[in-house]
Structure 1
Amino acid sequence: MAIKESELILNPDGSVYHLNLKPEHIAETIITVGDPDRVSNITQYFDSVDFKTHKREFHTQTGTYKGKKITVISTGIGTDNIDIVFNELDALVNIDLSTRTVNKTLKSLDIIRIGTSGSIQRHIPIDSFLISEKAVGFDSLLHFYNSESIQDQETSNALVQHTNWSQSKSKPYVVKADKYLVEKMQSDKTVSGFTATNVGFYGPQGRILRLPIQDNGLNDKLASFNHSGQPITNLEMETAGIYGLSKLLGHRAVSMNAIIANRATGEFSSNPKQIVDDLIKYTLNKIIE
């Protein structure tokens, strides 16, 4: 049965609505970044860039790095944008846009997030590389999908109890990264982590400017949480949504984090651009290994 025009929206040229992309525009290996300007920061290392487009905060470039075809796309900040980007990327490879029908044979993309993050553990220093082995989402995105089968309910329930989680907030959901990509990206230059994906940068991450927050001790509770030997290590704003939608759609995903702040010690990197650039080069070289 064809998907209705109101559900799968296409532009007049046949490209998907928000990303402005057609199937031939993307590779099977995709790097996502939050900041649109970071797309060019990555593709500056490519042998060639064969395609560019942008619409709103979604900037895309596809080219080759040491002979491997890679697409780099910006998502903007937050899991609401992840919902748009990942559904439309999947549509490009798994839906026939001309007939609006799901392909009989489905493809799996490799998706690697490169982003910044703040540690909440003293032993994870600034200017380090952290790979998210799993992530907990404090947004409600995954609860809008039939997703219980991919969630780690045991860890989620333990976190709710440990933090005395407010019932007025969405229940946290926990999803693991793709094991193959985690192992591929690991080295003696990386640390493994359990990432918390927040719904905002200020109050939701415990920052107070003029507004009081509901739970002043939440970051301390998160930092002291340890389930099956795995503590929560860092805060950011996309990873849990990336892991959840990737698993539901049959794609592989991993999140690479440049730790530019340590909330426990109050430190901030003296050169955040350099550590992000170092992580970009590290990730590109691990992709082609």
Structure 2
Amino acid sequence: MKKYFASSELLINEDGSIFHLHVKPEQLADKVILVGDPGRVALVAAHFEEKECEIESREFKTVTGTYQGKRITVVSTGIGCDNIDIVMNELDALANIDFNTREEKENFRQLELVRIGTCGGLQPNTPVGTFVCSEKSIGFDGLLNFYAGRNSVCDLAFERAFLNHMGWTGNLCAPAPYVINANAELIDRIAQKEMVRGVTIAAGGFFGPQGRELRVPLADPKQNDKIETFEYNGYKITNFEMESSALAGLSKLMGHKAMTVCMVIANRLIKEANTGYKNTIDTLVKAVLDRI
């Protein structure tokens, strides 16, 4: 018996589009580029030879078009794993639920998703300007813990090693992080030889969760020192960002292929930053468009 999705669970607008994104099923390509900043959608779409549609709703801006014969959708997600939860569930619904019958489609449609973002580097080999592909993500957000099957897709041994190193085992006030791998084939295709393959912490915020202290003191002032010294089976943590874990985790549970690649715009270890990165990130955009 096919699963039926009630109107309270799958929200469809009167025009037949999905609730938050306002995208219709026929407007979604199999290849999807995700960006945080709605302004970056235009940067990606500027490379398209043709544009089919441009849709804007809240922080979610979507353009579907053609690049070198490939049909590609670019979507802005806004900031944070909570928005990734919205975007991933709605993209999957567009691909795999019949909006007329509200039932799951018989034939599964797999999406290929690459998130292009910015991040903070945590190691000497991730100076400002480095492109880092998140081979593994450590989710401080806790999002995947709300979904069945979480343990079957996560690296539980890595999780335990990280929790022990941070001293968070048994601490009810600490995060409950999960460790998830991005799609290996997609990582190989996008990273190739010139990009750093790293372990990314997806933080639940920009300040405290990433060890930044302004007027409110940190619960653990040594958090970043411990993160920078963590090593497990040859892996070290390379960077901070805010979305990669939810993207990799939900995609794996749903059966899609996904990964995150970020440009380092600040290095926390050597205390350098570059806020004028917009021209450089276009180089990364072009590389992803060529390889997706």
TM-score scaled by length of structure 2? 0.96
Q: Secondary structure of 2:205's partner?
A: coil
Q: Would you say 1:65 and 2:67 are equivalent positions? A: yes
Structure 1 stretches of 4+ with a deviation exceeding 3 A read none
Question: Which residue in 1 is equivalent to 2:252?
Answer: 247
Q: Distance in 1 between matches of 2:273 and 2:43?
A: 21
Compute the displacement of 1:271 (Å). 3.3
The corresponding residue for 2:159 is 156
Cross-structure match for 1:34: 36
Deviation of residue 14 (structure 1)?
A: 1.2
Structure 1 pair 154/102, CA: closer, same or farther in 2 (3 Å)? same
Distance, in Å, in 2 between the alignment partners of 1:272 and 1:11 is 37
Amino acid at match of 2:196: V
- The CA distance in 2 between the partners of 1:105 and 1:50, in whole Å, is 25
Aligned counterpart for 1:127 among listed residues 116, 126, 129: 129
Unpaired stretches in structure 1, ≥5 consecutive residues: none
Name which of 66, 87, 90 aligns with 1:88: 90
- C-alpha distance in structure 2 between counterparts of 1:63 and 1:122, whole Å: 38
- 1:10 counterpart residue number: 12
Match of 2:280 in 1: 275
TM-score by length of 1: 0.97
Corresponding position of 2:116: 114
Long gaps (5+) in structure 2: none
Distance in structure 2 (CA, Å) of the matches to 1:253 and 1:191: 17
Q: How many residues align?
A: 287
Alpha carbons of structure 1 residues 30 and 167: separation in structure 2 relative to 1, 3 Å = same
> Residue 180 in 1 paired to residue 194 in 2?
no
Distance 1:221 1:275 in 2: 31
Percent identity, aligned pairs only, is 45
Q: What is the deviation of 1:186?
A: 2.0
Aligned to 1:231: 236
CA separation in 2, counterparts of 1:20 and 1:270? 32
RMSD: 1.0
1:215 maps onto 2:220 in alignment: yes
